[in-house]
Amino acid sequence: MSLVETLPASQRDILLKVDNISLSFGGVKAITNISFDIRVGEIRAIIGPNGAGKTSMLNVINGFYHPQEGTITFEGVPRPRMRPHHAATHGVARTFQNIALFRGMSTLDNIMTGRGTLMKRNLLWQALWTGPAEREEIEHREAVEKIIDFLEIQHIRKTPVGRLPYGLQKRVELGRALAAEPRLLLLDEPMAGMNREEKEDMSRFILDVNSQFGTTIALIEHDMGVVMDLSDRVVVLDYGKKIGDGTPDEVRANQDVIDAYLGVPHE
């Protein structure tokens, strides 16, 4: 449970609100008329069977997909259609279901790239290096080293990420997202394919990010145990539709959700 508990989740401000979102690819309807919100400081889980439209939902939130219908309101402001890098500069960071690290670069460079949106020196300063550009680099390096310490990956700082084992790659990807100091962090199956121990580590990191930095998190996860432990509220998707929304306990008691997970055939 998140530690930002000055107020109960239900009374905190709304950070992100999606209204009546529909998205289709040609004939395939990936998302049908979905609405939900994410409150400041909470961990919001998005669950559902494969192909339910969870990843597509995250892609809509950070501007990679453009829904045919619906609106997105971020920090109280209705958000126009935007490109992904705009979403990033507005405080939305992301990890990916299939690892999308920059394979040719070291751990350090991957995470430093995540800070790109916060660095200001232009090409000419960079060309000169000595002076402002170098100072800026060092400043941000310090911030990145804190993240490296936080994620306990000091020993692989200079290793090309392509050579790292899967679990560590997932961790570096989290680091890259954190480096942007996001206000909303989208995690797409951060624990998929991990063993028990790795999952526990990752859960701890997610909780710590939420409590220490106060970052709001949207989390897609299949392991129900993890979801129940981590999240404040859960939204459940199935075949592109929302079939449940509420606290973990409420969702667990919801008949539609139980049916969806038990594979009751649709009429």
**Hey, what long-range contacts does 244-253 have (CB within 8 A, 24 or more apart)?**
245/36, 248/45, 251/47, 252/228
We find the least distance from the C-beta atom of residue 12 to other proteins, in angstroms, to be 26
Stretch that binds other proteins, among 8-16, 110-118, 146-154, 228-236 (CB under 8 A): 110-118
Q: For residues 2-61, which are near other proteins according to CB under 8 A?
A: 25, 59
Q: Which of 55, 62, 169, 203 binds ligand ADP (CB under 6 A)?
A: 55
**Residue 38 interacts with which of ligand ADP, other proteins, Mg ion, none, CB < 5 to 8 Å by class:** none
Backbone angles phi, psi at 177, to 5 degrees: -70, -40
| Sequential DSSP letters for the chain | --S--SS-GGGSPEEEEEEEEEEEETTEEEEEEEEEEEETT-EEEEE-STTSSHHHHHHHHTTSS--SEEEEEETTEEEPS--HHHHHHTTEEE--SS----TTSBHHHHHHHHTGGG----HHHHHH-TTHHHHHHHHHHHHHHHHHHHTT-GGGTTSBGGGS-HHHHHHHHHHHHHHT--SEEEEESTTTT--HHHHHHHHHHHHHHHHHS--EEEEE-S-HHHHHHH-SEEEEEETTEEEEEE-HHHHHH-HHHHHHHHTPPP-
Q: Which of 50, 98, 130, 195 binds ligand ADP (CB under 6 A)?
A: 50
Q: Which of 3, 7, 13, 85 binds other proteins (CB under 8 A)?
A: 85
**Residue 131 interacts with which of ligand ADP, other proteins, Mg ion, none, CB < 5 to 8 Å by class:** none
Q: Which of 10, 68, 89, 154 binds other proteins (CB under 8 A)?
A: 89
Tell me, by CB under 8 A, how many residues bind other proteins. Answer: 43
**C-beta of 77 vs 138, nearer to other proteins:** 138
Tell me, by CB under 6 A, how many residues bind ligand ADP. Answer: 11
Stretch that binds other proteins, among 72-80, 138-146, 225-233, 259-267 (CB under 8 A): 138-146
Q: Which of 73, 102, 211, 252 binds other proteins (CB under 8 A)?
A: 102
We find the least distance from the C-beta atom of residue 113 to other proteins, in angstroms, to be 5
Residues that bind other proteins (CB under 8 A): 25, 59, 62, 64, 83-85, 87-89, 93-94, 96, 98, 100-105, 109, 112-114, 116-117, 119, 121, 123, 126-129, 133-134, 137-138, 141-142, 145, 176-177, 180
Residues that bind ligand ADP (CB under 6 A): 25, 28, 30, 48, 50-56
